[in-house]
Amino acid sequence: MANRPHPHKQLEEINRVVMQGLVDLLFFKYHKARESIISYESNVSKMPAYAFTELRDFIDHMYLALSQDQQDQIPHHLEQAEEHLRRAVAEPYQGVVQDEVREIGNLFNTYNKYWFKKMPFLEAKTLSYDEYYSSKREIHDLLERGRRLKSCNIWSDEFDEAIEDCFLPAYQKCISLKQKIIGSLAVSKSRTEKVVLALVIGIFLLFFSRIFDLLCKRIFS
């Protein structure tokens, strides 16, 4: 089957405002999104799916701006393209910290259900409440500061500060705190199992000694 030509505008038919907007987005702003994605993959060790969704929408609006016949809609699509580019840069970092905070909360709730966390005869280090809430406050403060800073111009130094000095340190603190909770969960589980085993053995010995006492009384009575 012969290839059918796709309808498209000739270069000279494209609005100059559109061309200037696209050149600005692609050559002066897109590189920041690209650097952000590479940095995310390096620091978080996984693909930022959300960022690629935003880049898809970024491309959609560029296409609509190029193919738009209604001139009054062109600025809208260029603005939307830049907004999706902004989100592709910032949202993955904020999102991954928020995901970690939720996971940490669930882990701590599980840890908090274990009884016999502190037994004098079973010495082991577990996460204290003070340490947990102190670390959580630090993460929360970094996250909130990052949110404030990223609301500024995406191309400003403050936006860079939101990522480098807020979201990334918050993520590292989340990983560290999560590892401590997981370790404390293992210790608490081990302690609980030992205490339960000691109680079962104690009850068994108490019951056995009672039976032994009754037998002795019958034999020697």
Q: How far apart are CA 147 and CA 221, in angstroms?
A: 83
Whole-number average pLDDT of the chain: 77
Q: Report CA-CA distances (Å) from 185 to 100, 108, 171, 195.
A: 17, 9, 21, 15
DSSP state of 153: -
What is the reported pLDDT for 7? 52
pLDDT of 84:
87
CA 139/CA 94 separation, integer angstroms: 11
Residue 3 lies in a domain: no
pTM of the model: 0.65
Residue 99 confidence (pLDDT): 87
Domain assignment present for 112: yes
Is 58 a member of any domain?
Answer: yes
Full residue range of the structural domain in which residue 109 is found: 11-220
Q: Is residue 148 part of a domain?
A: yes
Q: Residue 57, class by beta-carbon neighbours within 10 Å (0-12 exposed, 13-18 middle, 19+ buried)?
A: middle
Count the domains in the chain. Answer: 1
Q: How far is it, in rounded angstroms, from Cα 88 to Cα 79?
A: 14
Task: Enumerate the H helices of the chain as residue ranges.
Answer: 16-23, 30-44, 49-67, 74-112, 129-150, 157-161, 168-220
Q: Taking 70 as the threshold, does the pLDDT of residue 180 lie above it?
A: yes
2 belongs to a structural domain: no
Q: Residue 86 falls within a domain, yes or no?
A: yes
Task: Give me the mean pLDDT over the 81-102 stretch.
Answer: 84
pLDDT exceeds cutoff 50 at 62: yes
Q: Look-up: residue for tokens 């699509």?
A: 77
Question: Are residues 105 and 60 in contact, defined by beta-carbon separation less than 8 angstroms?
Answer: no
Q: For residue 123, name the pLDDT band (cuts at 50, 70, 90).
A: very low
